[in-house]
Amino acid sequence: MSHLSSVSRRTFLRATPTIIVGGTVLAGCTGNSSETGEEGPADTANSPSSGTEANSSGTSTFDAWLSDTGNYSSVADKTGASEVTVSVGAQGNNGAYALAPPAIEISTGTTVLWKWTGKGGNHDVVAQNSSFESELQSTEGATFEHTFDDTGTYKYYCTPHRAMGMKGGIVVK
């Protein structure tokens, strides 16, 4: 808030340079602006788009597949766990139309347990390569599981909400 007001005040002073009334106030203003950095509209600084390079392996694998998946930012490292739970019907994609976490990295032999939240209507989880496919379910607490014995990359989606971005990815190492 103070950030925004200092920016707009700065713009105001810049736009109307004749109104330099209080010399001390202006000095304080200038000090602030050099601290926070001079250029650019404030809103671009809050863009969540970057930061995908932090995860060295796996992350870029799903950048295209999950480009319209609202709650995807990186691949969650779940390697070493014998079972990993993914929420089906989690909040995201403008409703309860998300998988959470949407992208995970697991070890071979890991069982993924999808657990329905009961929200967002009917969901299923269907692998693009047909290696697994659940029923359409809507009941809270309903589950589906699949054990991944082979390494590889698995892309999957929810049939009714695929176009809304309800998609997921699993890397098996």
User: Which residues would be at the binding site for Cu ion (CB under 5 A)?
Assistant: 123, 158, 161, 166
Report in angstroms how near the CB of residue 16 gets to Cu ion at its nearest: 53
CA distance readout (Å), 93 to 50, 76, 96, 125: 19, 19, 7, 16
Closest-approach residue to Cu ion (CB): 158
Question: Nearest distance from residue 165's CB to Cu ion, in Å?
Answer: 10
- Residue closer to Cu ion by CB (options 97, 154) is 97
- Alpha-carbon distance 97 to 166, whole Å? 6
Q: Give which of 164, 18, 104, 69 is closest to 114, Cα–Cα.
A: 104
3-state helix, strand, coil in the chain (%, to 5): 25, 30, 45
For Cu ion, give the closer residue by CB, 58 or 120. Answer: 120
Task: Please state the closest distance from residue 24 (CB atom) to Cu ion, in A.
Answer: 59
Judged by CB, which is closer to Cu ion: 60, or 128?
128
Q: Residue 113: which residues within 8 A CB-CB, separation 6 or more?
A: 83, 84, 85, 86, 143, 144, 145
CB of 75 to Cu ion, least distance (A): 21
Q: What is the closest distance, in whole angstroms, from the C-beta atom of residue 90 to Cu ion in the complex?
A: 10
Report the residue number, 42 or 136, with the smaller CB distance to Cu ion: 136
Considering beta carbons, is residue 146 or 161 the nearer one to Cu ion?
Answer: 161
**Which residue type is seen at 11?**
T
